[in-house]
């Protein structure tokens, strides 16, 4: 066994390599940084389930240090048994089962073990493992309700409902309006502008007032820069700076909404960007919380008031809705991908085609060159 469950990478059981100058510790430190802390925490929590499975079926060898189990070689067959074990345990989501198997794979790679999804004989992805997960997905099915992107029309309705004062108190309206518009125009994940917990605020990872910088005239800024400290695709905290510009429609302008929030409720740079705490006034020194649970509660309350389905529209609909709106406005897909910080074309999966898209596509056929003929490019290439 190379490495153990608590993350020692180089030092093996019973072996202390004699390397001068603390190089071993340096190598261990660099290898530890090869995966983000959130990634390691994620796979470690899921590995406990695999260890329970291994212990139940007596696959765990005697612990060499009396605490951490020495796991056997993890093969595609063993990983398939683990997936079937999760089905028998009552897991209802094929995605969750895939996530637990991926955690085992991450553990193996970090601890210099062979990839358990690769067939050692062919050196390719094990076809039986792939077929098993396909069967699990078919048995458990997909989500009962498909998530929908938030349309611009629905966005306007939600903002009108919030500004009415019937959903949240007047002191809280600016926070919710600015947060929703920021999430929509910048195509953000909800975790990128809210806090994970109610009573804590991580200055290093979570959005602060100091992450917003306005540019242009002081009274009527042209836009602002927003520093995204941590995201799903940026787990190493390299940060990304997004530019958000004003729009002609004042009711839907993210810059106006953010500037109004900063003017009406000025706070120190280190405080949370938004405050979703129930209150009747923005008193200085009050307890604040930008917890996403509170944002989701207010967002869903607005959805219900607008007769929108909370099963179909969720906070992630802001991200997919922004991408769909940009696509419908005729923005180049490459620009949308770069603005949304997608590393592939996966974003196209949850953007929706509108009736105007389909109408324009069909009308364009009549304008095409009727004398055009297909060309065999293979002949031209040679």
CATH number (domain holding residue 175): 1.10.443.10
d(CA 4, CA 51): 13
Residue 110's domain comprises 20-140
Q: Are residues 136 and 162 in the same domain?
A: no
Rounded average pLDDT over 128-132: 94
Determine, yes or no, domain membership for 295.
yes
Q: Are residues 290 and 232 in the same domain?
A: yes
pLDDT, greater one: 206 or 30? 206
For residue 206, give both structure tokens.
């979570």
* Phi-psi map region of 237: left, alpha, beta (phi>0 left; psi -120 to 50 alpha): left
Q: What is the overall mean pLDDT for the chain?
A: 85
pLDDT at 181 over 50: yes
Determine, yes or no, domain membership for 209.
yes
Last residue of a domain, one of 118, 140, 162: 140
Determine, yes or no, domain membership for 379.
no
pLDDT at 190 over 90: yes
- Helices and strands: H and E segment counts in the chain: 13, 3
pLDDT at 65: 44
pLDDT, greater one: 22 or 55? 55
Determine, yes or no, domain membership for 260.
yes
pLDDT at 2: 37
Element (H, E) at 179: helix 170-185
**Among 96-110, 243-257, 321-335, which is the least confidently predicted range?**
96-110
Rounded average pLDDT over 337-358: 86
**With bands split at pLDDT 50, 70 and 90, how would you rate the model's confidence at 108?**
confident
The number of domains in the chain is 2
Q: Are residues 120 and 213 in the same domain?
A: no
Q: Are residues 114 and 170 in the same domain?
A: no
pLDDT, greater one: 62 or 191? 191
Three-state DSSP at 266 gives coil
pLDDT at 66: 44
Q: Are residues 109 and 222 in the same domain?
A: no
Q: Are residues 174 and 323 in the same domain?
A: yes
Q: Are residues 77 and 205 in the same domain?
A: no
Determine, yes or no, domain membership for 1.
no
Determine, yes or no, domain membership for 8.
no
Determine, yes or no, domain membership for 147.
no
Q: Are residues 183 and 316 in the same domain?
A: yes
Q: Are residues 69 and 182 in the same domain?
A: no
Q: Are residues 326 and 296 in the same domain?
A: yes
**With bands split at pLDDT 50, 70 and 90, how would you rate the model's confidence at 266?**
very high
pLDDT at 8 over 60: no
Show the CA angle centred on residue 240, arms to residues 239 and 243, nearest 5°: 145
Rounded average pLDDT over 67-90: 87
């Amino acid at each position: 066994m190379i490495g153990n469950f608590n993350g020692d990478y180089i030092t093996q059981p019973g072996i202390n390599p004699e390397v001068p100058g603390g190089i071993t510790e340096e190598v261990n430190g660099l290898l530890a940084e090869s995966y983000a802390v959130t990634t390691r925490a994620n796979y470690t929590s899921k590995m406990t389930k695999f260890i329970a499975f291994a212990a139940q079926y007596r696959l765990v060898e005697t612990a060499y240090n009396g605490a951490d189990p020495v796991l056997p070689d993890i093969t595609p067959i063993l990983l398939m048994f683990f997936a079937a074990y999760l089905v028998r345990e009552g897991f209802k989501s094929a995605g969750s089962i895939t996530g637990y198997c991926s955690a085992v794979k991450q553990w193996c790679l970090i601890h210099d073990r062979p990839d358990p999804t690769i067939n050692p004989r062919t050196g390719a992805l094990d076809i039986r493992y792939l077929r098993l997960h396909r069967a699990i997905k078919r048995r458990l099915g997909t989500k009962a309700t498909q998530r929908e992107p938030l349309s611009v029309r629905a966005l306007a309705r939600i903002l009108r409902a919030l500004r009415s004062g019937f959903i949240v108190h007047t002191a809280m309206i600016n926070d919710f309006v600015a947060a929703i518009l920021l999430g929509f125009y910048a195509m953000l994940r909800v975790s990128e502008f809210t806090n994970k917990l109610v009573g804590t605020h991580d200055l290093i990872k979570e959005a602060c007032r100091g992450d917003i910088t306005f540019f242009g005239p002081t009274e009527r800024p042209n836009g602002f820069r927003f520093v995204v400290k941590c995201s799903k695709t940026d787990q190493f905290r390299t940060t990304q700076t997004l530019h958000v510009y004003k729009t002609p429609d004042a009711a839907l302008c993210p810059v106006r909404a953010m500037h109004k929030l900063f003017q009406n409720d000025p706070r120190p740079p280190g405080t949370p960007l938004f405050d979703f705490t129930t209150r009747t006034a923005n008193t200085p020194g009050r307890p604040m919380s930008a917890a996403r649970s509170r944002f989701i509660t207010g967002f869903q309350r607005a959805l219900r008031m607008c007769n929108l389905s909370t099963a179909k529209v969720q906070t992630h609909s802001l991200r997919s809705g922004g991408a769909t709106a940009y696509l419908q406005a005729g923005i180049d897909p490459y620009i949308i991908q770069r603005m949304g910080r997608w590393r592939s074309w996966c974003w196209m999966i949850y953007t929706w085609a509108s009736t105007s898209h389909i109408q324009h596509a069909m009308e364009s056929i009549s304008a095409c060159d009727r004398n055009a003929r297909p060309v065999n490019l293979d002949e031209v290439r040679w």
